[in-house]
Chain A
Amino acid sequence: MKRLLYLILLAAYPGPPCFPQPDPAEILKKVENNISSENRVFESTMIIHGARTSRTMTSRTYSVGDKQAFTEYLSPARDLGTKMLKLNNQLWIYSPSSDRTIEISGNMLRQSVMGSDLSYEDMMDDRKLTEIYNSRLTGTETVDNRKVYVLELTANVPDVAYYSRKIWVDAERFVPLKEELFAKSGQLLKRMTMSDVKYIDGRWFPESAIYKDILKQGGGTEFRITVIKFNQKIPDYIFSKAALKQ
């Protein structure tokens, strides 16, 4: 009888307390809220670590949402005055040495940006991750002494550059701290590491990132934001082809 009672109690025990897992789509939405903004103006330094040497270039960027962006290179002298304009899915580059504006389209979008580990296409894809990937929360880990959610994203549309991604999202600040991009075969292609997360204008934002093409030699491309301002008044003429030659 005692034994029977024990079995009944055991069957009735609900187990250890079970907390609800956060919804991965919700996590991604929070990340997008932090990273995206109505508009922003920032100055940045891009350091391209090649196999033998490194190159540093600085630029100023104006952007409105994900659809409009204007970048002007400030240094080195060789690239001074080079400008890039992105309007929706079109991209133009102005080169002061030739005084010509070239539209980067089709397969040219797959080329590297100024010799970095980023392609124009990486910059151009403005679709939200939640629109083109199915996400799955695989667990929690610790990155840079911070608790992170690990999300696995698998493409749900055929026309994506990277079939799957893995993102480590800060569990408190909802900022990605690491991201890995994979080929269809599962081969790791690129890794991004974000750091220097700061609280700016009511949002958490990583000010440094390292993009690394895993298959290639070299130390990757370092991207540091030196000044960033959100929700600024940006004149409309900045996002016109005429602004490229000014």
Chain B
Amino acid sequence: MRLAIKLAIRNLIGAGLRTWLNVIVLSFSFVVIIWIKGVMAGWDHQAKKDMSDFEIGSGQYWHSGYDPYDPFSLLDNHAPVPEGFRAGVAEGSIEPELIVQGTLYPGGRLQSVIIRGIDPDQKILKIPTGKLDAATDAIPAVIGSIMAKNLKASAGDRIMLRWRDAHGTFDATDIVIEGIFSSNVPSAEAGQIYIPLERLRKMMSMPGEATLFTFSSSFSPETAPEGWVLRTRKELTSSIDEMIKMKSTGQSILYGVLLLLAMLAIFDTQVLSIFRRQKEIGTYIALGYTRHQVVGLFTVEGTMYAVLAAILSAAYGLPFLTWQARAGWSIPIDTSEFGIAMAKTLYPVYSAGLVVTTVLAVMIVTAVVSYWPSRRIAKMSPTDALRGKLQ
């Protein structure tokens, strides 16, 4: 094996430019695959963190009838704070939210919104709810940047809000935008306004009621009380997993094209080597090599392209990937309308597992592609090969 590697290196270096072209193409594949996979891992990490920070905390308890995709059912699905949550609510490890439907009239336009009542003193979510503790004749409200863009509103603006209370009676008054936050989580921003919980309970004639509870990492989730359903962080972020999985499947086509180009070059080189080096093959067999050992020699030689490519990738890829991890990749289009948690700048995250599996996968594919044309050697007649007769 050691001899085979020694011979392979000598032959590869001897081949000159042809070897380096193969190695450069393959190294490019290495870097691009690791970078894209890193971006995906970074997106996954950032999206889940942002969701936890701005929407779901460490998990939630939902009212059993709560369906975030059916705003018409919101008025029917709320209940008083269960006895088991009262201590957690008092110490701030679990926060109630009351969610109802309303209509905003920015400049005479009509826009349906979800009104979320939240405690101004809550510490679980990074929404600037402290700004809701404002002295104003209107209802103090905090909105996300996506919502502000849709409403064409800025801090200090007053907008008419209309809603219906628990009995279905219309009520309307102004809200004043006390703060605008940016979260990268469209579901926490688009079509949502945040107002003080107690104010909303009073507006709706729903004292002590909640639609869901968000808990912090210090809260130990137990079996949900009757009428409530526990939603773990894993369940609540499953949409991100599905999105990443779908994107990764799409990107594997790109990996396939990159690898195909590299493998085509290696395959061609191997076929040419076997054709041009028949005398050498005959000599090996005359010296006592079995046919399979010669096949192994050529396979190792082919696989060495991947090894050299990995070394070359490390030379220019490491600085590039490190710089990307720090500077991030800014998406050249507006992602706020995508409806998925996605920052404008994604910071790739590379794990040892990601790098090792990518390198191993490329090496295995290269070995297979190198072995494939080398099988012809096993069918060669050694005497004809020694004479240099074309076979």
Contact = CB atoms under 8 A, between A and B. Distances in A.
Contact of B167 (A51, A110, A159, A189): A159
B93 to A, nearest CB: 34
Question: Secondary structure of the B side of the interface?
Answer: mixed
Contacts of B160: 187, 215
Contacts of A51: 108
Contact of A161 (B105, B107, B108, B170): B170
Interface residues of A, number: 22
Contacts of B72: 106-108
Contacts, number: 60
B172 A187 contact: yes
A51 B107 CA distance: 12
Contact of A217 (B109, B169, B170): B109
B165 to A, nearest CB: 7
Contact of B73 (A107, A162, A181): A107
Contacts of A110: 164
A216 B110 contact: yes
A159 B170 CA distance: 10
Nearest to B173: A185
A217 B108 contact: yes
A218 B109 CA distance: 9
B162 A184 contact: no
A37 B172 CA distance: 34
B168 interface: yes
21 contacts: A51-B108, A158-B167, A160-B168, A161-B164, A161-B168, A161-B169, A162-B169, A162-B170, A163-B170, A183-B169, A183-B171, A184-B165, A184-B169, A187-B172, A187-B173, A189-B170, A215-B160, A215-B162, A216-B108, A216-B109, A217-B109
Interface of B: 72-73, 75, 105, 107-110, 160, 162, 164-165, 167-173
Interface of A: 51, 106-108, 110, 155, 158-163, 181, 183-185, 187, 189, 215-218
Q: Which 6 pairs across A and B sit closest by C-beta, in order of nearness?
A: A217-B108, A107-B72, A187-B172, A184-B171, A183-B172, A158-B167
